[in-house]
Amino acid sequence: MSFTFSRRRAGAAVLTAALLLPLAACGSDDDSKKDSGAKASESVAGAPKAKLTVLAAASLSNVFKTAGAAYEKSHPGTKVTFSFAGSQELAAQVKQGAPADALVTADTKTMDSLKSDTNAPTVIARNRLVIATVEGNPKKVDDLKDLADTKLKVVLAAPEVPVGRYSKKILDAQKIVVKPVSQEPSVRAVLSKVELGEADAGLVYKTDAATATDKVDAVEIPDAQNAVAQYPAATLKTSKNSEAAAAFVQWLSTPEAQKILQDAGFQKP
């Protein structure tokens, strides 16, 4: 009797194990599906999510607000905050260790001076200068030579500012001497002086004049007398979000970002 009972118990154990095996297999499949689903979700997310701080040249103020919104829309979970100022001011902030993730300047000279602080830069856009005048151009400013008129109140950017350096370059090339009533810390400050009527004319980027067509007129400068401004972008070596910062900088060269820049009047890199 004892032998029969043991044989029955063993048979029951085998049957139980047989019934449990499919269930275990099902559980394994479910876990595998969950894991693969999680990985798929991560891959869909794309670039790492982060709160990015981007230091950008003042002339990018308008277009980068549009670009930032577009980037956040296509990269859920990422927030991009911009800090705009003259490129020379941004460079000073970087050297002082300001917490930021990426930098975009309005010239390569400023970016090159920060090689120990940035990773390899990429030019994302170009620009040109125009003469901004009070709306209606009451002083009849037609070309660069007119800026030499001492009766004309002309405002320029300071020579250490990229647009100020470009302005000096094109004026010197034409041997035109201008005595500005003031030298401003950024292109937006120059534009503001003209908008407010505190100056009759000033040299600004074409894209900046385009943001104030209801307040200023833009006098074109021939290409042969003009200068080409380049906008390099780079991640900062001190960034705590290096992968996310690199993803944003790379995105600036994509068709989506380039369309936004070119719609605002910037030229192709």
pLDDT tens-digit profile of 114-130?
Answer: 999 999 999 999 999 99
Whole-angstrom distance, CA of residue 210 vs CA of residue 197:
17
**pLDDT, position 47:** 66
pLDDT band for 96, please (50, 70, 90 cuts): very high
Q: How far apart are CA 50 and CA 77, in angstroms?
A: 7
Residue predicted with more confidence, 213 or 38: 213
Give the pLDDT mean for 194-218: 97
CATH 3.40.190.10 matches 128-228: yes
pLDDT in tens, 158-202: 999 999 999 999 999 999 999 999 999 999 999 999 999 999 999
Q: How confident is the model at residue 49 (pLDDT cuts 50, 70, 90)?
A: confident
Give the relative orientation of helices 61-74 and 255-263 as an angle to the nearest 10 degrees.
Answer: 150
Tokens of 156: 């320029």
What pLDDT sits at residue 118? 98
pLDDT given at position 51:
96
Burial class (CB within 10 angstroms; exposed 0-12, middle 13-18, buried 19+) of 183:
middle
3-class SS at 119? Answer: coil
Cα separation values, 132 from 36, 150, 163, 187, 201, Å: 58, 17, 13, 11, 5
Among the residue ranges 24-33, 55-64, 100-109, 251-260, the one predicted with the least confidence is 24-33
- pLDDT of res. 40: 30
Domains in the chain: boundaries:
51-126+229-263, 128-228
Average pLDDT, the chain: 87
pLDDT tens per residue, range 57-74: 999 999 999 999 999 999
Q: What class is the 51-126+229-263 domain?
A: alpha beta
| Closest of 143, 164, 140, 159 to residue 151, by C-alpha | 140
Q: Is the pLDDT of residue 228 over 90?
A: yes
Q: Do domains 51-126+229-263 and 128-228 have the same CATH topology?
A: yes
- In angstroms, the CA 182 to CA 31 distance is 70
